[in-house]
A and B are shown apart, each in its own frame.
Chain A
Amino acid sequence: MKKTLLLALVVIFSVLSVFSESIVIWASEKQVDFMKKIGAQFTKDTGINVDVQFVNFGDIKSKFLTASQAGEGPDIIVGAHDWVGELVKNGLLDPLPTSAIEMDKYAQSGINAFTVNGKLYGLPYAIEAVALIYNKDYVETAPKTIDDLLKTAKEYTTDETLGFVYDVNNFYFTYGFLKGFGGYVFNWSKENGYDVHDIGLNNEGAIKGGNLIKKFMDDGIIPAGANYNTMDSMFKDGLAAMIINGPWSLKGYIDAGIDFGVLPLTELELEPGKTAKPFVGVQGLMVNAKSKNKALAKEFVINYLATKEGIYNFYVADPRLPARNDVLDIIKEKGGPIPENIVEEFIKSAAGGEPMPNVPEMGMVWSPMADALNNITSGNQSPEQALNDAVSKIKSSMSK
C-alpha cells in the first residue's frame, strides 16, 4: 500500500513536470489582458503557450532577482530601464539581437536607456517624462519662462488655491531644474557610457537649480510639506493652476473633468538659452538569461509584443508615451485614451530630457538627494551646502 502510494505520487509529479512548454511573463496589472490576447496568437502560430502572470510593478524586480537565481523566474519581465544595470551586473538578462530588430523605429532615448556596454538588454515600449500641466481655467497659455511662471503662480496663490505646486522634495520631479542649469547625475559620453565618478549634482548649475527651488519656498509659492498627493488631489479638485506631473496622471485629470494644457519642460526657459530638462523613464521588455526558452521569448518580444500594433496595445492599456515612432500614426488613425496633441507635447518633453542613468550606482543617488532637497526646502541648509553633502554621501557610499 505504502509503495503504491509513493509510486502514484512520483508518477503524478513527473507527469506534471513534462508538457510545461510555455513562456512565462511577469507583467503589471494593466498589461495582463491584452498580453494574453497577443499570447493566444503566438500559441496559434507556434504551439507554445504563453502564461501572463500579474505581479505588482514594484515587486517584479525583487521577485525576479530571487526567482531567477534559482532558475525559477519568468522568461520575460516587463519593467523599467533603471533596473537594467543591476540585473545585467547579476548576469540575469540576455541581450537581444539588434540585427533582427527594426532599430530605427524605436525612440533613440529608449534604445539608449536599455543599452549597457554596447548591448541591448530590452526593447522599450513606453517612455515617459514629466511636463508642466496647467489648468486652463486659470492660465490661458502656459508661461514660457520661469519668471513668467513665478509671476503667474503668485497671482493665483491664495489661502485656498495654489498657483504652482509639485512634489518638490522628490528628486525625480526636481531634476529637470537642476539639469536645465547644467547639473547632471553622472557624466555621460557616447564612447564610455556613464562615468560614475564624475558627479555633477553640486556644480554651479545644480546649485542654481537648488536656489530656484529655495525661491519657490521663500516666495511662498510652494507650501512647506507639499508632496505628490497634495499636488495630485488639488489639481483634480481644480485648486491648483500649474503642476508638474507625468503622463500616467492624465487619465485621472481627464476623468475629473479638468480642462488642461501641457507645456513640455524643455520649452520652459530657466535663463536665456537654457530650458528645464526632465528625467526620462523608459519601460520595456526584458528576457531572462536563465530562461530555458530564451529563443521563443525573444521571438515573442521582438515579433509580437514590441511591434507597432503591440505597442499601441500597451499605450491603450496604460497611457504612457509609445516608444515607437510609428505608433503615433495608429493613434492619429484610431485615437487613444489621451488626446493626440497632449501625447505629442509629452513626447517633446521626453525627447529633450535625459534618460535616468541605468547604472546600478543610480540607486545610491536617490536617498541622499531626497535628503538634500528636504534640507533646502525646509531651510535647514543652503542649497550649496545641501548639495555638497549629497554628493559626498553618494561618493562615500560608492567607495565600498
Chain B
Amino acid sequence: MKKFLKFLMWGGVAILNAILVWFTFMLFALGNYSLAVTLGVFVAIADWAIFSKKGYPYRYTIAALFFLFVLTIYPMYYTIQIAFTNYGTGHLFSRDQAIETLLTDTRFLYSPNNAEIYDFKIFVKYDEQYKPTEDFLVLLYNKEKSFLAKKPQNIQYDAKGNVKYAESELMPLKNDVFDETYKIIKNKEGKIIAIDNGKIKYTYFYGFDDPSVSSNSAYYNSVIRQKYLKVINLKNGKKSFRLSSDYVYRKFSESYRVYEAISKTNIIEGRKVTKTQILNTLTNTILEDKDGAFWDYDKNGVSTRLIGYVEGVGAYNFKKILTDPKIAGPFFKIFVWTFTYAILSVIFSFIIGLALALALNDKNMKGRMIYRTLLIIPWAIPVFISVLVWRNGFFNETYGIINKIFLAKLGLEPIKWLNDPFWAKISILIVNTWLGFPYMMTVTLGALQSIPGELYEASSIDGATKWKQFSKITMPLLMVSVAPLLVMSFAFNFNNFVGIYLLTGGGPALPNSNTSAGATDILISFTYKLAFEGRKGQDFGFASAIAIIIFGIVSIISYFNFKFSKAFEEVSR
C-alpha cells in the first residue's frame, strides 16, 4: 500500500514535470520568451527542492513559489518591460512579425492590370478503398489556354507546423497532353473526367458550381484547399498565379508580392550592423521605418502607415509623465486629492466601524446578532450594484431621494451632488465610507475580543472613567492589531478605481482646463483616462509607466505607515 502511494506520488511529480516542461517549450515556440523563462526557472527550482537533500526544507513552499513566480514576479517583470516600449494600439507585433506579415500576407499582393485569370478543377488519386488521397492535380483553364499543376513539392512550414508556402510549375496543354505524360480522358459529352500519366490515374474530384461533385467539397475544403491551395504559388516562367481573393478564392489570378525583404549592412561605430529592410517592388523604394512602423510612399509622395511594431523607446514614457504639461500639470492636484480621498475614506470608515463595534460589543445590548448581520450588508452587496444605486437613487439631482424628499421637505435648494466639484467629493466619501465601514467593524469586533477583560476590571477598581479606559486601554491595544489593516485599507483606496469610475467617472469636468482630469479623478482613474480613453486606442506602455510610478508612491507611503504602526507595537510591549 505504502509502495503504491509512493509510486502514485512519483507518478504525479513526473506528470506535473512533463506538463510544465511541455508548457515551457510551447511558450518558447509561441515566442513568449519571458514567461517561458519564468516557468523554466520555476521548474528547475522545484525539481531541486524535490530531488536534492539540501532543498528538502523548501519542498513545502513549492506551491507558494509557483504562484509567486506566475502571479507576482512575471507580471512585475512584464510591466516594467512594457513601460519602456511603445506597446499599444498600432504597435502590437514584434518587428519580425510585422515583416513576416508584409512578406507573406495575402493583403500585400497585387495583380497587374491585364492579369490572366483561370478557373480550375481538382483531380485526385484514389487509394484501394476508393478514398481520396492528398496526391492531386490542379487543372487551370480559360477559353484559350489550359495548364496542369502537380501537387507542390516545394513546401515551407511555419513554427506551428502550418504550411505557409507551396510552389508548383504549370505545364501547358499540347494536343490533349500535358508535359508529354499527362493525358486527358474525356467522357462522351467532352467533359474531362480523369487525367492519366500512365502510372497513376487522377479522377475529376472538384470544381466550383458543379453539383455532380459537390459531395466532395468537404474533402476539398478541409484538406486540399486548406493545406495546399490557399498558400500555393503556381509558376509559369516568370508569371505566378495564386487563388484570388477578388473572386472569393474561386479562380486563380496572376499576382505578385508587393514587398521583398533585403538585408542591409551598415557600419555603425566601427561595427557591422545588419538590419532587414523592406523593398516595395512596384515603386522600387525602401520602406521608411520610423515611429515604430513601416511607411510606404505612393506616386505622389503621400505616406501611408502599413504596419506598426513594438520597439523600445527607452525612458520616453516616464519622461512624458514628468514633462508633458497635460499630465504633469494636474498631477499634483490629483495626487493631493488621491491622498485625501484614501486617508479620509479610511478614517471615516474606521471611526464609524469602531463606534458600531464598541456598541455591538456591549453585552447589555439586545439583538446584537441581528444588528451585526444588518450592518454587514453594505459589504455583502457587490460594489457595482450598490454604487449605481447610490448614483441614480440617492444622488440624482432631480430624482434622487436626498434631493427629492429630504431637502425638498426641509425647503432647501437641491444640491448638485455629482455635478459640483465639492459635493462630488463629498458624495464619493459618503459612498466609500458606507462601503468600507462593515469591514472596519468586523475587524474591530474581532480585535476587541482579544483585549483581556481583567484590564477593565482592574482599571475600574482604580477609578478610571469610561473615556480613560477607552483611550488608555482599548485604543492602544486595538491599534496593535488594526493598524496594519488600516495601512492596507489605505493602499486599497489609493487605487480604488471602481468606486470612482462607477460613481462620478472622475467628473465633474473642470471648466477651463484642457486636460481630461476631472475634479474627483484619483491617480489610477486619471491614468486610465490617459492611457485608454484619451489617446488613439490603448497605450499599454504609457499605462505601465504610470503604474510603476503609482507603485512607487504607494510603497513609500506604506513603508512609513508600517513604521508608524510599529510604534503601536512598541507601546504594547
Chain A positions near chain B (C-beta within 8 angstroms)? 1-2, 5-6, 9-10, 13, 21, 45-48, 65, 69-71, 86, 89-92, 94-95, 97, 99-100, 117, 223-227, 229-230, 289, 292-296, 298-299, 302-303, 360-361, 363-364, 366-368, 371-372, 374-375, 378, 380-381, 385-386, 389, 392-393, 396-398
Interface of A is mostly: helix
Report, as a range, how many residues of chain B touch the other chain. 35 or more
Cβ–Cβ < 8 Å partners of A375 in chain B: 508-509, 511
Cβ–Cβ < 8 Å partners of B514 in chain A: 389, 392-393, 396
Judged by a CB distance under 8 angstroms, whether B529 is at the interface is yes
Cα–Cα distance between A293 and B217 once the two chains are bound (Å): 15
Cα–Cα distance between A289 and B245 once the two chains are bound (Å): 13
Cα–Cα distance between A187 and B516 once the two chains are bound (Å): 23
How many Å from the CB of B249 to the closest CB on chain A?
4
Cα–Cα distance between A45 and B307 once the two chains are bound (Å): 36
Judged by a CB distance under 8 angstroms, whether B106 is at the interface is yes
Q: Let me know if B89 and A360 touch, CB within 8 A.
A: yes
Cβ–Cβ < 8 Å partners of A294 in chain B: 106, 230, 245
Judged by a CB distance under 8 angstroms, whether B387 is at the interface is no
- The segment from B377-385, B396-404, B557-565 found at the interface with A is B396-404
Cβ–Cβ < 8 Å partners of B284 in chain A: none
Cβ–Cβ < 8 Å partners of B306 in chain A: 91
B538-560, CB under 8 A of A: which get 1 and which 0?
10000000000000000000000
Cα–Cα distance between A21 and B245 once the two chains are bound (Å): 20
Q: Let me know if B221 and A396 touch, CB within 8 A.
A: no
Cβ–Cβ < 8 Å partners of A224 in chain B: 397-398, 414, 416, 419
Cβ–Cβ < 8 Å partners of A10 in chain B: 22
**Across the two chains, which residue of chain B brings its CB closest to A372?**
B509
Q: Let me know if B247 and A378 touch, CB within 8 A.
A: no
User: Quick one: given A6-B18, A95-B107, are A363 and B90 in contact (CB under 8 Å)?
Assistant: no
How many Å from the CB of B305 to the closest CB on chain A?
7
**Across the two chains, which residue of chain B brings its CB closest to A381?**
B511
Q: Let me know if B398 and A295 touch, CB within 8 A.
A: no
How many Å from the CB of B30 to the closest CB on chain A?
7
Cα–Cα distance between A324 and B281 once the two chains are bound (Å): 39
Q: Let me know if B217 and A374 touch, CB within 8 A.
A: no
How many Å from the CB of B2 to the closest CB on chain A?
18
* Contact residue among B89, B105, B247, B326 (Cβ-Cβ distance under 8 Å from A100): B247
User: Quick one: given A97-B248, A299-B248, are A374 and B507 in contact (CB under 8 Å)?
Assistant: yes
Cα–Cα distance between A371 and B419 once the two chains are bound (Å): 10
How many Å from the CB of B51 to the closest CB on chain A?
14
How many Å from the CB of A346 to the closest CB on chain B?
28
- Which positions 224-255 of chain B face chain A at CB distance < 8 Å? 225-226, 230, 243-249
Cβ–Cβ < 8 Å partners of B160 in chain A: 71
Judged by a CB distance under 8 angstroms, whether B101 is at the interface is yes
Cβ–Cβ < 8 Å partners of A229 in chain B: 392
How many Å from the CB of A305 to the closest CB on chain B?
13
How many Å from the CB of A369 to the closest CB on chain B?
10
Chain B positions near chain A (C-beta within 8 angstroms)? 11, 14-15, 18-19, 22, 30, 89-90, 92-93, 98, 101, 105-107, 160, 162, 214, 217-222, 225-226, 230, 243-249, 304-308, 326, 392, 396-400, 414, 416, 418-420, 507-509, 511-516, 518, 529, 533-538
User: Quick one: given A45-B217, A374-B509, are A397 and B11 in contact (CB under 8 Å)?
Assistant: no
Q: Let me know if B392 and A292 touch, CB within 8 A.
A: no
Cβ–Cβ < 8 Å partners of B508 in chain A: 371, 374-375, 378, 380
How many Å from the CB of A361 to the closest CB on chain B?
6
Task: Give the residue among A91, A223, A226 with the most B Cβ atoms within 10 A.
Answer: A91
Cβ–Cβ < 8 Å partners of B248 in chain A: 97, 100, 295, 298-299, 302-303
Cα–Cα distance between A225 and B307 once the two chains are bound (Å): 44
Cα–Cα distance between A314 and B419 once the two chains are bound (Å): 40
Q: Let me know if A223 and B226 touch, CB within 8 A.
A: no
Q: Let me know if B534 and A89 touch, CB within 8 A.
A: no
17 CB contacts below 8 A, A to B, read A2-B18, A9-B22, A13-B22, A21-B221, A21-B222, A48-B222, A70-B30, A91-B307, A91-B308, A230-B396, A295-B243, A303-B248, A366-B533, A374-B509, A378-B416, A393-B514, A393-B516
Q: Let me know if A223 and B512 touch, CB within 8 A.
A: no
Q: Let me know if B392 and A45 touch, CB within 8 A.
A: no
Q: Let me know if A389 and B513 touch, CB within 8 A.
A: yes
How many Å from the CB of B279 to the closest CB on chain A?
19
User: Quick one: given A86-B89, A94-B107, are A99 and B19 in contact (CB under 8 Å)?
Assistant: no
Q: Let me know if A386 and B243 touch, CB within 8 A.
A: no
Q: Let me know if B90 and A45 touch, CB within 8 A.
A: no
The 9 closest A-B pairs by CB, nearest first: A47-B218, A371-B509, A225-B397, A223-B398, A378-B419, A224-B397, A360-B536, A225-B396, A392-B514
Cβ–Cβ < 8 Å partners of A97 in chain B: 244-248
**Across the two chains, which residue of chain A brings its CB closest to B248?**
A100
**Across the two chains, which residue of chain A brings its CB closest to B21?**
A6
**Across the two chains, which residue of chain A brings its CB closest to B304?**
A117
How many Å from the CB of A195 to the closest CB on chain B?
14
**Across the two chains, which residue of chain A brings its CB closest to B421?**
A380
**Across the two chains, which residue of chain B brings its CB closest to A94?**
B107
Known interface pairs A100-B247, A225-B396, A385-B511; 7 further A-B residue pairs with C-beta atoms within 8 A, sorted by A's residue number: A48-B218, A69-B92, A225-B397, A295-B243, A364-B534, A378-B416, A381-B512
Cβ–Cβ < 8 Å partners of B225 in chain A: 295
**Across the two chains, which residue of chain B brings its CB closest to A21?**
B222
* Contact residue among B14, B217, B230, B536 (Cβ-Cβ distance under 8 Å from A89): B536
How many Å from the CB of A352 to the closest CB on chain B?
29
**Across the two chains, which residue of chain B brings its CB closest to A61?**
B537
Cα–Cα distance between A47 and B418 once the two chains are bound (Å): 58
* Contact residue among A225, A289, A303 (Cβ-Cβ distance under 8 Å from B105): A289
Cβ–Cβ < 8 Å partners of A363 in chain B: 533, 535-537
**Across the two chains, which residue of chain B brings its CB closest to A92?**
B92
Task: Give the residue among A90, A95, A289, A299 with the most B Cβ atoms within 10 A.
Answer: A90
Cβ–Cβ < 8 Å partners of B220 in chain A: 47
Cβ–Cβ < 8 Å partners of B399 in chain A: 223, 225, 230
Q: Let me know if A2 and B11 touch, CB within 8 A.
A: yes
Cα–Cα distance between A112 and B331 once the two chains are bound (Å): 41
Cβ–Cβ < 8 Å partners of B516 in chain A: 367-368, 371, 393, 397
